[in-house]
Copies of this chain bind each other. A is one copy, B any other.
Amino acid sequence: MDFVTGVTKKETLEISELLAGDLTGETVRVNGAVHAIRDMGEVAFVILRKREGLLQCVYEEGKTNFDLKDLKEGATVEVKGVVSKEDRAPNGIEIRLSEIQVLSEPVEPMPLAISKWKLNTSLEANLNYRAISLRNVRERAKFRIQEGIVRGFRDFLYKEGFTEIHTPKLGAKSAEGGANLFKLEYFHRPAILQQSPQFYKQMMVGVFDRVFETAPVFRAEKHNTKRHLNEYTSLDFEMGYIDGYEDIMAMETGFLQYTMELLSKEYAKELKMLNITLPNVDKIPAVRFDEAKQKVSEKYGRKIRNPYDLEPEEEALIGKYYKEECGADFVFITHYPSKKRPFYAMDDPEDATYTLSFDLLFHGLEITTGGQRIHDYNELLAKIEKRGMTTEGMEQYLSAFKHGMPPHGGLGIGLERLTMQLVGEDNVRETTLFPRDLSRLEP
């Protein structure tokens, strides 16, 4: 019998360790994937791909105990060599190789030129060869940024007294009902996949006051656009004891401020690699739905076709307007029409045509929907009735209200959309590891 006592330091070094002190002249061991081989005749550059970036190794004939011809791009290796300063190499260092040990070998050449700086391929090929295309360092950097966003969301909310929850994705009835639900059979009973954790997070406000979840949601929508996915990661929070929907917008602004700070500190390498300028989130304009529509119509001479909804083009123009007028990257659009919001949205007491709700646009694209919810049981029942809905299947949800719920509200953020806007992509599939859309169920 042995005992396992925890993580022990390996002999092999990571890039940050190579850069931590001056190791020039020292012999080190490193491992990595052979990202590219550049054979210059007497010497060759062997570029290793490691999790922290690329590392240049120098192969010199006669000095390395290995035949370069036996080394393939895509192999994984452990090498030994001497650290040397080299301004033209990534991070300013290179390893002059003395030994190479092959850990694994590919059986076929790469189908895509992943070692190019920009992956020069169609979106279709990129997605079809996802396990390979993401080995391109700029491709994978987008998902490091995505990690930073989720991490910022959670860390900020922990700090603000939120509790993380895990709610079921299989259910008997959805939060918001409707036709856009994936249906399945659950041990001879009809079931659905949740399109939102809405009901669950509201119920949990009665328990923890403030809750959040970062989890997949499922939408059986037949949209085929650059901004829709049929499965995506939703960053949801819900908070009690609010004074109004403004508290929700303030919390989201706080999240964005915290996250931009985190990204600039811990993901600087990736931001630089992708040439990203972080948006200004010191102050975010909040403007009423009807006012925003009006302003845009006036400035850009666009006729208002539907006073109760925002068309994608209109959202884009709103983004443009507030960028031009006050340099804003983000805009909160408040007071959405009641008929376009779910039953649980709280109507504006001053004008029930509108709700105490909002969307957040980022560079003209909706990335968040949120608002205050109805917390009074009788008011909720009345709204359900007014809409001609039934309470069937909502018994547990309603029981939370029957037994007392604080004034509350919350929001849901589409992670892939937020990432897309931040890294400046124009298709949400580019910022989804394995997108699911009308035609894509694999890989």
User: In the bound complex, what is the Cα–Cα distance between A285 and B4 (angstroms)?
Assistant: 6
Chain B residues contacting A375 (CB-CB under 8 Å) are: 104
Q: Does A80 belong to the interface (CB within 8 Å)?
A: no
Q: Could you mark each residue 213-231 of chain A with 1 if its beta carbon is under 8 Å from any beta carbon of chain B, else 0?
A: 0011010101000000011
**Contact, CB under 8 Å: A6 / B253:** yes
Complex CA gap A233/B10 in Å reads 31
Question: A248-260 toward B: CB 8 Å interface, digit per residue (1/0)?
Answer: 0111011001000
Return the chain B residue nearest A381 by Cβ: B107
Query: What chain B residues lie within 8 Å of A406 (beta carbons)?
Result: 31, 33, 76, 103-104
Q: Give 1 or 0 for each of A140-159: 1 = CB within 8 Å of chain B CB.
A: 10011011001100100010
Closest chain-B Cβ to A131's Cβ sits at a distance in Å of 4
User: Which segment, of A91-99, A161-169, A297-305, faces chain B?
Assistant: A161-169
**Contact partners of A7 in chain B: CB under 8 A:** 160, 250-251, 253-254
Contact A209 B50 (CB under 8 A): yes
Tell me, in angstroms, the Cα distance from A425 to B135 when the chains sit together.
44
Cβ 8 A contact of A206, one of B10, B131, B436:
B131
Q: Mark A56-67, 1 if CB is under 8 A from B, else 0.
A: 000000000000
Specify the chain B residue showing the minimal Cβ separation from A217: B169
A8 at interface, CB cutoff 8 A? yes
Q: Is the CB of B397 within 8 A of A443?
A: yes
Q: A14-B161, A107-B377, A254-B6 are in contact. Are A399 and B183 (CB under 8 A)?
A: no
CA A438 to CA B188, docked complex, whole Å: 10
CB distance from A343 to the nearest CB of B (A): 18
Query: What per-residue 1/0 map shows which CB atoms of A372-386 lie under 8 Å from chain B?
Result: 000111100000000
Interface hits, A196-254 → B, CB 8 Å: 200, 203-204, 206-210, 215-216, 218, 220, 222, 230-231, 233, 240-241, 243, 246, 249-251, 253-254
Q: Which residues of A contact B (CB under 8 A)?
A: 1-8, 10, 12, 14, 31, 33-34, 50-52, 72, 74-76, 78, 103-108, 110-111, 129-132, 134-135, 140, 143-144, 146-147, 150-151, 154, 158, 160-161, 163-173, 182-187, 189, 191, 193, 200, 203-204, 206-210, 215-216, 218, 220, 222, 230-231, 233, 240-241, 243, 246, 249-251, 253-254, 257, 282-287, 291, 332, 375-378, 393, 395-397, 399-400, 402-407, 415, 433-436, 438-439, 441-443
